[in-house]
Structure 1
Amino acid sequence: MSEDNRLRDVFDAIADPTRRRLIRLLAEAEEKPLHELTTYFQMGRTAVSKHLTVLKEAGLVVDRKVGRETRYRLNATPLREVQDWLAFYSKFWSTNMLRLQQLLEEEEE
């Protein structure tokens, strides 16, 4: 799914802690089946599946059928949008920390 065809905003998809944890679990493995992902949460398969659907709509997760089992893997490419957005604020904080350091050094003198 290309970025233009995403059904859901990446920021919306990662806003939920459960979905961020799913992303983390999938980042640590090549792919995982739904029943295995469910073991990490105190919720049923249906609830985990709904979270995976949100991630899939944002292009963050890809699934494939293997027999009766659905396996999920991470597609981290859409996270680049988040990284780019944060990069601006990283520069902002670096600049402000430098100014604070200069101010503190001036006060010491």
Structure 2
Amino acid sequence: MTEPAALTAVMRALADPTRRAVFERVVDVDEISVAELTRGSGVTQGAISQHLKSLKQAGLVIERPEGRNVYYRAQPDGLAPLVDWMSHYGVFWRERFADLRALLKDIDP
């Protein structure tokens, strides 16, 4: 299974609904600036910057400075700890559902 600290960082970063919305906007485009993320979000530029900082620390986004602007893009490998963790439990639940299905077939007249 994945390293607990990396998984915790990703889960903590995505636990906040506003941060998750920022991440989803970054994922939807190749690259986006803080100003673009702020527009129409109802959140201040400072708050967006803080959310991006958390996402960056969790390894979910990377930044590219260009002059006064900083552009962000999703880091595909950033979700790996979460995917690994979910895969582990996916096997667990598939086995349980298979057991339940077999049990229900035995009970059904």
How would you bin the TM-score normalised by the shorter chain?
A: 0.7 to 0.9
Aligned residues: 104
Provide the secondary structure at the position in 2 that maps to 1:41. coil
SS at match of 2:43: coil
Instruction: List structure 1 segments (4+ residues) > 6 angstroms apart after TM superposition.
Output: none
Question: What CA distance in whole angstroms lies between the structure 1 residues aligned with 2:93 and 2:18?
Answer: 28
In the alignment, which residue of structure 2 is the partner of 1:25? 25
Q: Sequence identity of aligned pairs in percent? A: 36
Counterpart residue type for residue 56 of structure 1: K
TM-score for the superposition, normalised by structure 1: 0.85
Q: Which amino acid aligns with 2:43?
A: M
Find out whether 1:48 has 2:48 as its counterpart.
yes
What's the offset of the Cα at 1:20? 1.7
Please state how far the C-alpha of 1:53 moved relative to its aligned partner: 0.4
Unpaired runs of 5+ residues, structure 2, are none
Normalization by structure 2: what TM-score?
A: 0.85
Aligned mates of 2:83, 2:23 — CA distance in 1: 15
Q: Does 1:61 align with 2:38?
A: no
SS of the residue corresponding to residue 72 of structure 1 reads strand
- Cα deviation, residue 55, structure 1: 0.7
Structure having the larger proportion of residues in helix: 2
The alignment partner of 1:63 has SS state of strand
| Other-structure match for 2:72 | 72
Q: What does residue 15 of structure 1 align with?
A: 15
Q: In 2, distance between residues paired with 1:62 and 1:28? A: 14
Paired amino acid for 2:30: E
RMSD: 1.9
